[in-house]
Amino acid sequence: MAALKYAGLDDTDSDEELPPGWEERTTKDGWVYYANHLEERTQWDHPKSGKRKRVAGDLPYGWEQETDENGQVYFVDHINKRTTYLDPRLAFTVEDNPLKPNAKQKYDGNTTAMEVLQGRDMSGKVIIITGANAGIGFETAKSLALHGAHVILACRNMVKANEAVKSILEEWHKAKVEAMTLDLASLRSVREFAEAYKSKNIPIHVLICNAGIFGAYWELTEDGLESVFQANHLGHFYLIQLLKDVLCRSAPARVVVLSSEGHRFTEIFDNSGKLDFNQLSPPKKDFWPMLAYNRAKLCGLLLSSELNRRLSPHGVTSNAVHPGNLIYTSLHRSYWGYTLLFALFRPFTKSLQQGAATSVYCACAPELEGLGGMYFNNCCRCSPSAEAENETTAKALWELSEKLIQERVGSPSK
């Protein structure tokens, strides 16, 4: 190999089958050469076509490039515990090659988070995911961590959060993943989380507002607000306010807010057309679990769009996503009736990996760099309800959220 030179190499693909006794290998710089084991020699040219090529792009998740004592490049598959001298990127067919995308829709409702991340290297990216100890949040965290991201699981239950961290590390011991305490139903806890995070002096490239409450009984938080509204919306709003300076310093940065198609089946106005706080945080006699959830998810869409209007000039974009209908998670287990409903529909709904796909897509898709204020379902942009696109409503909700926090803890950004 020492006699081979890089000068004049033709960066073209050659997909012809190799003759018997030949093997395709890769240098540390991605240049492909061919080893003839029968004659014990190597060459740059493909033995049939005479073409030369270079492999580009990120290694698939779980793969790492190493060099042996002879300077020979080899590849380690940490997930399946094996090594090979064959670059795994050479396994792509022409249609699957990420450098040659076809004209078909790239992702759909069957796509998993792992498939969205196939071939991507998220090393150097720091990502916070709320409610990541189980369900869709866990699959989101695991998928991103296995692709090299530094993932922080921001969770209320630290026992379950640490178990989730352990599970990810058992799958890949080099994963950068940790857990931090965050209870979105407590403004004090949100503030303590933000202070602890800032003390780390690390960036935030992606904040995924995943945590939420569904099907809960009426309950007031320690801050005197209805728990579904505070855990799903106001807690995330306050978290973003406290971390927005870090997000701006980390630009380009992204915020992903989990919403729901249920946002279409509710309103948050009184009879005069003004934002109605009593609908957002209703008294016990007016509380309906599904209606409270739908309203909170409408708030999520409005939060995302207003956040994007305010922070996109500073390099921080925000998009909202619908993960899927009736996905079987721990979200619904506070009420037996919903548990039964979700169990009945379980064979016909998305898996947790499929449910995490749209969040992951909005977190890392190169084509979304610098783009926000949109709503995604099945990894594709779609139109939300007319109310979710109302800028006046979004601004009014933002101002109300600031007022609610200021009344309890002072300035929302402190």
Q: Computed from CA positions of residues 203, 164, 191, 355, in that sequence, does the dihedral angle turn out positive or negative?
A: positive
Q: What is the 3-state secondary structure (H, E, C) of the chain?
A: CCCCCCCCCCCCCCCCCCCCCEEEEECCCCEEEEEECCCCEEECCCCCCCCCCECCCCCCCCEEEEECCCCCEEEEECCCCEEECCCHHHHCCCCCCCCCCCCCCCCCCCCCHHHHCCCCCCCCCEEEEECCCCHHHHHHHHHHHCCCCEEEEEECCHHHHHHHHHHHHHHCCCCEEEEEECCCCCHHHHHHHHHHHHCCCCCCCEEEECCCCCCCCCCECCCCCEHHHHHHHHHHHHHHHHHHHHHHHCCCEEEEEECCHHHHHCCCECCCCCECHHHHCCCHHHCCHHHHHHHHHHHHHHHHHHHHHHHHHHCEEEEEEECCCCCCCHHHCCCHHHHHHHHHHHHHCCCHHHHHHHHHHHHHCHHHCCCCCCEEECCEEECCCCHHHCHHHHHHHHHHHHHHHHHHHCCCCC
Burial zone of 118 (CB within 10 Å; 0-12 exposed, 13-18 middle, 19+ buried)? middle
Is residue 293 annotated as part of the catalytic site, yes or no? yes
Question: What's the token pair of residue 407?
Answer: 């009344």
Backbone angles phi, psi at 95, to 5 degrees: -70, -30
Integer CA distances (angstroms), 77 to 62, 90, 126, 141, 147, in order = 6, 14, 23, 20, 12
Q: Which of 293, 338, 361, 375 is catalytic?
A: 293
Spatial separation of the C-alpha atoms in residues 410 and 414, rounded to whole Å: 7
What is the residue whose two structure tokens read 């009184």?
Answer: 270
Active site members: 293
